[in-house]
Structure 1
Amino acid sequence: MDLYAFPPIAGLLDGAHTVLMTLAALLEPVIGIASAAAAVVLITLLVRGALIPVGISQAKAEQTRSRLAPKLAALQKQHKKNPERLQRETMKLYGDEGTTPFAGCLPMLVQAPVIGVIYALFILPTIAGHPNALLEQTFFGVPLGSSLAGQIAAGTLAPGALVVFLIVIAGIAVVGELTRRVFQPSTPVGGAAGTNRADASAGGAGASAALLAAPGMTRALGALQFITAVIAIFVPLAAALYLLVTVAWTLVQRMLLRRRYPLVEASTA
């Protein structure tokens, strides 16, 4: 069964196709032939703007985790030989504080359907029974429905297209490295390095790493910053543009919110 032909999904894709084509038509007098790419960027900004309250919640969650880091380190030391007790006490600590180890993960979860829709819009030849006009749209001459990996596999990669792909993918990698550098915490006392580093690298899901707190684990979490750039090699260019805009937005937003909700330094905890 074709999942994209399922009526609710087909209707969703058809509506999204209409929205993007309408935006592209409105932007074409200003942007020109790159209007569809500009429409993708605009949709990305609208989605991220709608998620600002969630980003604030995420910043508050990071602040709470930094405040709890010394207590988590004490629990690790006290119950290091009893993992089940450690897990119970950790969850109890978060419960007493009115939060969870995974608070702040919602932005990633909410965006997954959006990137899925954009991905589908630029790979399907037909949507709800009609031709997909989005596949005719380009960005600096590169079809928005093509990917770097796909063009390499097909042997159709032109030098100009390679430049466009590399700029977008390198941009994602650079933003990932900036994010890693800006939010890499100093090593706290009391053995809580795993907790804070995981929080900074995984953007909220790293609390479970607090139970592991191993140097190899933290190095692996640091590498997660560049997974988005790797994904951009294989997805359509339109989806890669979405990823570039969203990671750049995330970096700027986190920098601004970190000033509003600073982390608790280990020396003062």
Structure 2
Amino acid sequence: MLAFAPLHSAATAAATAVSWLADTLTPLAGGAATAAAIVLFTVGIRLLISPLTVAQVRGERRRAALAPEIRDLSQRYADDPARLQSELVALYRQAGANPVAGCLPTLLQAPFFLVMYRLFATGDGLDHAGSPGLLHERLAGVPLGWHLGDGLSGPVVAVFGLLLVALLALAWWSSRRIRRAATATGAPAEGPSAVLGRLMPLLPFSTVLLALVVPLAAVLYLVTTTGWTALEQAILRRPQTADIDKR
């Protein structure tokens, strides 16, 4: 379908890159070369969008600086949610802060994941990349195109189990960080912003649910990109990190 032509073209380009990486890594990684190529390809994409993550941190710091004023507004207009929301919007606009800017890097990854899912779940682009057997490559004896629903065996339980545990740990860490950030910024208890604040800590666990239904190749992507996000957040939010806003 013409509507999916851009997605197909992107899948073809991704297949070419992953195939090239796999061929390059084969002397070092052997049978795990394709899995390693997926990890490296994902890291490369995350490096490309890292400036957005820096912008996200800047926005969060601006919102944290507004915490006293947000608390004051929340107390002043506690009985008037509509007025509170309008005052908060005006405050954010005046300070150049965006209360939902933190979602941008995650949203930007969605098209990339669609490409990866199409590539490894349907094989779209693989024939054009010259690697029709890519989905049949294995990691610890499990095909990269394998789903949990395809059947459980010793290797499948071990590989998927390890990756799911990693995703669960990363989701817990991310959820805890989001809750702390919300507390630091003095998020309001009422209004649309409050609803968003309650939903945001739950979003990291969606990766665990998604991993239950996607192929192993896509699970590798999820673990890699989620782990990269955790590492980025830990580095960018170190106490000794220089204040990015002053640069």
Fold equivalence (TM over 0.5):
yes
Distance in 2 separating the partners of 1:187 and 1:104: 11
1:159 is aligned to 2:154: yes
The counterpart of 1:249, out of the listed 207, 221, 228, is 228
1:126/1:132 contact within 8 Å kept: no
Unaligned runs of 5+ in 1: 199-206, 263-269
3-state SS of 1:61 partner = helix
1:102 is aligned to 2:100: yes
Distance in 1 separating the partners of 2:176 and 2:165: 16
Using structure 2 for the length normalisation, give the TM-score.
0.84
Q: How many residues are paired up? A: 238
Unaligned runs of 5+ in 2: none
Residue 204 of structure 1 aligns with which residue?
A: none
After superposition, the Cα gap between the structure-2 partners of 1:188 and 1:44, relative to the gap in structure 1 and judged at 3 Å, is closer
1:13 is aligned to 2:8: no
The correspondence of residues 64-83 of structure 1 with structure 2, limited to 5 A, is 64-83=62-81
1:226 is aligned to 2:224: no
CA-CA distance at 1:181 after TM superposition: 4.2
The correspondence of residues 1-269 of structure 1 with structure 2, limited to 5 A, is 6-127=4-125, 132-148=132-148, 150-151=149-150, 156-181=151-176, 184-185=179-180, 192=186, 194=187, 208-210=192-194, 212=195, 218=198, 221-259=200-238, 260=241
Using structure 1 for the length normalisation, give the TM-score.
0.78
Runs of 4+ in 1 over 6 A off after TM superposition: none
CA-CA distance at 1:98 after TM superposition: 1.2
Structure 1 or 2: larger helix share? Answer: 2
CA-CA distance at 1:244 after TM superposition: 0.8
Distance in 1 separating the partners of 2:169 and 2:234: 16
| Deviation sequence 1:131-178 (CA, Å, 0-9, x none) | 843222221111111222x22xxxx32121111001001101112223
Distance in 1 separating the partners of 2:5 and 2:200: 39
3-state SS of 1:174 partner = helix
3-state SS of 2:12 partner = helix
Matched to 2:229, the amino acid is T
1:54/1:104 contact within 8 Å kept: no
Q: Over the residues paired in the alignment, what is the CA RMSD in angstroms?
A: 2.9
Matched to 1:246, the amino acid is T
1:11/1:128 contact within 8 Å kept: no
1:79/1:86 contact within 8 Å kept: yes
3-state SS of 2:152 partner = coil
2:22/2:36 contact within 8 Å kept: yes
Distance in 2 separating the partners of 1:182 and 1:85: 29
Q: Percent identity?
A: 34
1:21/1:36 contact within 8 Å kept: yes
